[in-house]
Amino acid sequence: MTDSIRDSRGNRIRLVIAYDGAGFHGFARQDGLRTVQGTLEETLTRMLGTPIEVYGSGRTDKGVHARAQVVHFDVPYGPPAERMVHVLRRRLPADVMPLWADQVDNDFHARFSVVRKTYRYTLYRGAMPNLFLYRFSWHVPGELSLSAMREAAAHLVGRHDFSSFCASSASQEDKVRTIYRIDLAGADDQLAIEVEGNGFLQYMVRIIVGTLVKVGEGREVADRIPAILAAKDRSQAGETAPPHGLCLWNVEYPPEYGGKVVDPRADL
C-alpha cells in the first residue's frame, strides 16, 4: 500500500459530477436498472476493493441531467481527494463526468447540508426540432409570451405549499417549499428557465415549467397562479414538462462548505 493511500484512510469525500441522464433510470439505485448512484457505487467498490455507499444531494428522475450533482462517500483508503477525480475519469462511463472532489468533515452530508438548489429547464423554440439539442431540451414551437410567463413565475416566488405543483404520488407530507427566484433568459431559439429554491418535490420544477408554458401559449392566465397554489390540487396546474429538458444546475452549501459548488459567474 502506498503512503498516499495509507494517509487518506477514513476520509469523507465530496464529489461533484455532471451526467447525461438519457441513459439512466434516475439517480437513485434500483435493482436491475442502470442508475447514477448504482454506477458510482459499483465503480468505487471495484476501484477500492471494499463496499462503498454513495449519498447524493438529491434524486433526479429518469432522463433528467445534472451539471452539478453532489455526492459524498466514506473511503477506508484510496487516493487523496484531489486525485480521486482523475482516477474516476478513467473508470466511469462517458456519460458521467467527475468535475472536482475535496475532503470534508464527517458532519457534511451531500443532501442534508444543502441550503439551496438551482434547476435549469431548457426550451427549444425553433420551428423544427434541433438534432443536436433534442436530448437536452423540450421542443416548444410557436409564440410564447415571456412577459406573461414572468408574471406567472413571480406568483410562485416565496414560501408556498406546492401540493398543486408536485406528483400526486409524492410521499412527503410537508409540501411547503421556498422558491427564491425564477428567471427566464433567451438566446436565439432557446429559452432557459432557472428555478432556485431551498428544496423541491417530485416533478415540481417540471410542473412549474409546464404551467409557465401553458401561460405563455395563452391557455392559462398568469393571475390565476395564486388560486392554483391555494387549491392544493395537482389537476389545477399545467402539464408535467418532459424530463430531458431538466438539469440540476447548481447546489449551494453553507459558507464553511464553500457555498455554491459551481461558480455562478460560469452560468450561461
Q: Which residues are annotated as a binding site for substrate?
A: 119
- HSE, CB side, 13 Å, CA atoms: give it for residue 233: 7
Residues in the chain: 268
Instruction: Give every CB contact of residue 173 below 8 A, 6+ residues apart in sequence.
Output: none
Catalytic residue among 7, 61, 107, 183: 61
33 in Cβ contact with 61 (< 8 Å): no
Cell of 142: 410557436
CA distances to 93, 174, 253 from 90, rounded to whole Å, are 8, 42, 28
Q: Clarify whether 174 is annotated catalytic.
A: no
Q: Which residues participate in catalysis according to the annotation?
A: 61
